[in-house]
C-alpha cells in the first residue's frame, strides 16, 4: 500500500516543482473562505512533507515525522483535526500567527491513496459540515489540477484513469 | 433593456465552444463544486457556469435556480463576454442596460451580477463564471480575485476532459441534439436510453480489460409521499438535489442516470462489489443528510439500493444483471429501506444486518 502510494505520488511529479499560481489559488481561497491565518497544500513522501503552496508561514519542507499532513495521510477520516499545542508545529514552522487548531483533508488519487493534504490553521475547530465539505471540494479540485499535468506525461489510459478516479 | 451586441470574434468563439463538445452534456460534479464554492465564498444565492451560444446561454452548472438555459437576449453573460475584464453590475435597477430586463423585473429578480469571462486561453470568451444576488452589492478587490481564482478552476476543468472515458468518447461522437436526447431534462443526468448506451460500452470495455463493473439501482424511499404531501414542484426539487448529491459522493468515473420516476441507475466501472458498497454507503449517508423545506415542516429522504456485478471472467447479459439488481432493490425495500442489498445478501442480511448506519 505504502509503496503504491509513493509510486502514485512519484507519477504526479509534483514534489520539488516551482511555485505555481494554480496551486496558490487554493490557499488564497481557503484563507478567504475560512478567514484563517494559515493554509497549505502539501505532499508527503518517505521523509518529508513538502509544501506546494503555503499562506501565513515561511516554510518549504519539514520532516514527515513532525508533520500534520502525515497525520492526515495515516488517518482514515476525511477530515482530520488536531490542536497545535499537542503537535508542537511551532518548532518546525515559522507561523505568522500560530494557529490553535489544524484542520485538514487528504488529497486522494487512485481512490484510496493519500498523497498529500490540504489544511488550514484556525483558532477554533471546524465543526460545521458545510465547512468540511468546502475543504473536501477543494481537495478534489486539486486532484484535477494534478490530473492536468498527468495528461502531459502519462499516455496509457488505464493508468490515467486509475489515478483520476 | 439593451441587447448585447455580438463580439467581433463571434464565429471563432462559437467554434471554440462547439469544439469543446460540452453543450448538452449531463451535469458534472467537477463544475458543481466550483459554483458551490462561489456561493459559499461570496455569500451569493445564485452562481453559474454559463456558456453563451448563438441564441441562448446554457448553464453547465447552476446553483440556486432550477433552469438550464435562458435566451441570449436577456443574458447578463452576453454582455460579460464582450470584454476580458470582470463584468460587474452592482445594481441592475440603476443600470439602463438591465433595469427593464425581465430577469430583473420578474423572477429571479436579479439585482447584482458579477461575471468573469471564460476563454480557452486564446482570448475568445465562450461564457462566464458568474455570481448573482437578489440585492444590490459591491465587490472588493479581494472578492474579485476570489471569483477570478474560481474562474481559473473552471478553465482548468474545461481544458481537462472528464474522467470517464466512455462518456468522453460518447459525447464526442454525438451531435449536440443527439446528446440532448440522451439526457433527462429535469435532473440533467443521463436518461435511461443514455444509460443503456453507456452500459453496453462499459460492458465491452470490462470484457476487454477483464475489469470488474458493478451497477446499482437506486430508488428514493416513499417518494410518492413527498409529491402528495409537499407538491410536485418540491418533488422535482428532491429529484434534482438527489442527483447532485449522489454525483458528489460518487467517483468521477462513475455514471449516474435517471432510470425512470424516482429510480436511478449507477454504473461503477473498475469497481468490485465491496468497493462499490463503500462508495454507495457514502452516497446514502449524504442523501440522508439532505434537508428540504416542506409545506409545513422540513423533511429528509432516504434511498434503497440493489447492487449487481458483471463477473470478471464471463460477462452476463445486461438484462440478466439489471434484473438481478432490480430483485435486490425490491429486497432492500422489504428489508426496511435505506440500505444496500448486494450479491448473496438478500437472504443472509434480510434481518437488517446490512442496514446503513
Alpha-carbon B143 to chain mean position: 26
Nearest 5°: phi and psi at B133? -135, 160
Q: Are B109 and B135 in contact (CB under 8 A)?
A: no
Phi, psi of B25, rounded to the nearest 5 degrees? -110, 160
CA distance B191 to B196: 9
Low-confidence stretches of chain A (pLDDT beneath 50)? none
The structure's pTM equals 0.82
**From the candidates B47, B121, B149, which should be mutated to test the interface with A, based on the most A CB atoms within 10 A?**
B149
Tell me which residues of chain A have a C-beta less than 8 Å from any C-beta of chain B.
22, 25, 28-29, 32-33, 111, 129-130, 133-134, 137-138, 140-141, 144-145, 147-148, 151, 157-158, 161-162, 164-165
Counting Cα atoms < 13 Å in the Cβ hemisphere of A134 gives: 23
pLDDT the model gives residue B275: 86
d(CA B80, CA B89): 10
The verdict on a CB contact (< 8 Å) between B34 and A141 is: yes
What is the rounded distance in angstroms from the CA atom of residue B51 to the CA atom of residue B59? 6
Count of residues for chain B?
357
pLDDT digit of tens for each residue in chain B (357 aa)?
A: 899 999 999 999 999 999 888 999 999 999 999 999 999 999 999 999 999 999 999 999 999 999 999 999 999 999 999 999 999 999 999 999 999 999 999 999 999 999 999 998 788 999 999 999 999 999 999 999 999 999 999 998 888 766 677 888 888 888 888 988 999 999 999 999 999 999 999 999 898 888 899 999 999 999 999 999 999 999 999 999 999 899 888 887 899 999 999 999 999 998 888 889 989 999 999 999 999 998 888 999 999 999 999 876 566 789 999 999 999 999 999 999 999 999 876 544 444 444 443
B23 near A123, Cβ under 8 Å? no
For residue A85, with 0-12 CB atoms within 10 Å meaning exposed, 13-18 middle and 19 or more buried, which class applies?
A: exposed
Q: For residues B277 and B255, what is the distance between their CA atoms, to the nearest angstrom?
A: 15
Mutate to test the interface with A, among B30, B32, B276 (most CBs of A within 10 A): B30
Report the SS3 class of residue B311: coil
Q: How far apart are CA B87 and CA B147, in angstroms?
A: 11
pLDDT at position B353: 45
Q: Which of A60, A159, A76, A78 is nearest to A126 (CA)?
A: A78
Q: Which three cell numbers stand for residue B92?
A: 441592475
Asked, as a colleague might, if the bond just before B108 is cis with ω within 30 of 0, I would say yes
All three cell numbers of B64, joined, read: 440556486
Name residue, grid cell 463571434.
Answer: B10
Task: Kindly name the residue from B262, B291, B316, B345 that is annotated as catalytic.
Answer: B262
How far the first Cα of chain A sits from its last, in Å, is 17
Q: What are phi and psi of A81, to 5 degrees?
A: -125, 140
> How far from the centroid of its chain's Cα atoms is residue B130's Cα?
17
The residues that bridge with B255 in the sheet, in sequence order, are B267
Burial class (CB in 10 A: 0-12, 13-18, 19+), A77: exposed
Per-residue model confidence (pLDDT) at position B355: 44
H/E element, B269: strand B263-269
Who among B29, B142, B253 is closest to A161 (CB)?
B253
Q: How far apart are CA B227 and CA A102, in angstroms?
A: 44
- Choose among B145, B209, B251: nearest Cβ to A165: B251
Distance separating alpha carbons of residues B3 and B300, to the nearest angstrom: 43
pLDDT of residue B272: 86
User: How far is residue B234 from each of residues A155, B172, B281, B351, B357, measured CA to CA in Å?
Assistant: 46, 34, 25, 34, 27
Contact at 8 Å (CB) between A122 and A99?
yes
Query: For residue B356, what pLDDT is reported?
Result: 42
pLDDT of residue B350: 44
Strands B263-269 and B213-220: antiparallel
Catalytic residue flag (residue B178): no
Angle at B73 between CA B71 and CA B79, to 5 degrees: 115
Are the beta carbons of A28 and B149 separated by less than 8 Å? Answer: yes
Amino acid at each position: 500500500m505504502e509503496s503504491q502510494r509513493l509510486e502514485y505520488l512519484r507519477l504526479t511529479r509534483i514534489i520539488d516543482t516551482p511555485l505555481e499560481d494554480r496551486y496558490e489559488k487554493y490557499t488564497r481561497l481557503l484563507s478567504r473562505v475560512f478567514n484563517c491565518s494559515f493554509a497549505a497544500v502539501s505532499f508527503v513522501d518517505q521523509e518529508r512533507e513538502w509544501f506546494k503552496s503555503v499562506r501565513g508561514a515561511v516554510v518549504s519542507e519539514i520532516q514527515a515525522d513532525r508533520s500534520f499532513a502525515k497525520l492526515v495521510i495515516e488517518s482514515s477520516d476525511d477530515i482530520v483535526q488536531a490542536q497545535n499545542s499537542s503537535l508542537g508545529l511551532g518548532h518546525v514552522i515559522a507561523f505568522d500567527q500560530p494557529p490553535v487548531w489544524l484542520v485538514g483533508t487528504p488529497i486522494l488519487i487512485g481512490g484510496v491513496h493519500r498523497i498529500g493534504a490540504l489544511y488550514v490553521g484556525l483558532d477554533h475547530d471546524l465543526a460545521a459540515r458545510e465547512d468540511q465539505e468546502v475543504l473536501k471540494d477543494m481537495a478534489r479540485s486539486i486532484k484535477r489540477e494534478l490530473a492536468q499535468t498527468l495528461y502531459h506525461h502519462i499516455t496509457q489510459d488505464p493508468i490515467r484513469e486509475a489515478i483520476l478516479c | 433593456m439593451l441587447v448585447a451586441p455580438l463580439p467581433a470574434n463571434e464565429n471563432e468563439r462559437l467554434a471554440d465552444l462547439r469544439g469543446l463538445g460540452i453543450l448538452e452534456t449531463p451535469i458534472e460534479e467537477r463544475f458543481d463544486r466550483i459554483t458551490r464554492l462561489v456561493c459559499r465564498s461570496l455569500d451569493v444565492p445564485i452562481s453559474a457556469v454559463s456558456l453563451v451560444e448563438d441564441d441562448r446561454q446554457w448553464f453547465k452548472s447552476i446553483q440556486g435556480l432550477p433552469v438550464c438555459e435562458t435566451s441570449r437576449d436577456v443574458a447578463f453573460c452576453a454582455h460579460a463576454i464582450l470584454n476580458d475584464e470582470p463584468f460587474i453590475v452592482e445594481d441592475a435597477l440603476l443600470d439602463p442596460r438591465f433595469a427593464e430586463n425581465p430577469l430583473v423585473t420578474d423572477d429571479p429578480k436579479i439585482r447584482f451580477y458579477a461575471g468573469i469571462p471564460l476563454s480557452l486561453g486564446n482570448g475568445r470568451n465562450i461564457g462566464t463564471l458568474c455570481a448573482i444576488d437578489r440585492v444590490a452589492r459591491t465587490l472588493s478587490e479581494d472578492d474579485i480575485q476570489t471569483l477570478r481564482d474560481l474562474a481559473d478552476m473552471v478553465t482548468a476543468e474545461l481544458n481537462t476532459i472528464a474522467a470517464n472515458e466512455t462518456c468522453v468518447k460518447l459525447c464526442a461522437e454525438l451531435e449536440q441534439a443527439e446528446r440532448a436526447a440522451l439526457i433527462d431534462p429535469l435532473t440533467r443526468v443521463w436518461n435511461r436510453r443514455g444509460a443503456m448506451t453507456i452500459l453496453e460500452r462499459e460492458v465491452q470495455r470490462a470484457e476487454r480489460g477483464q475489469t470488474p463493473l458493478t451497477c446499482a439501482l437506486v430508488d428514493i424511499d416513499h417518494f410518492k409521499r413527498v409529491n402528495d404531501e409537499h407538491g410536485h414542484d418540491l418533488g422535482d426539487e428532491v429529484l434534482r438535489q438527489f442527483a447532485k448529491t449522489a454525483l458528489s459522493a460518487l467517483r468521477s468515473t462513475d455514471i449516474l442516470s435517471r432510470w425512470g420516476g424516482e429510480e436511478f441507475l449507477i454504473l461503477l466501472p473498475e469497481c468490485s462489489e465491496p468497493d462499490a458498497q463503500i462508495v454507495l454507503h457514502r452516497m446514502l449517508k449524504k442523501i440522508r443528510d439532505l434537508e428540504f423545506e416542506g409545506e409545513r415542516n422540513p423533511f429528509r429522504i432516504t434511498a434503497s439500493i440493489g447492487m449487481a456485478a458483471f463477473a470478471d471472467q464471463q460477462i452476463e447479459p445486461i438484462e440478466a444483471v439489471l434484473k438481478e439488481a432490480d430483485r435486490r432493490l425490491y429486497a432492500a425495500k422489504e428489508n426496511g429501506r435505506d440500505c444496500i442489498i448486494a450479491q448473496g445478501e438478500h437472504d443472509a442480511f434480510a434481518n437488517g444486518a446490512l442496514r446503513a448506519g
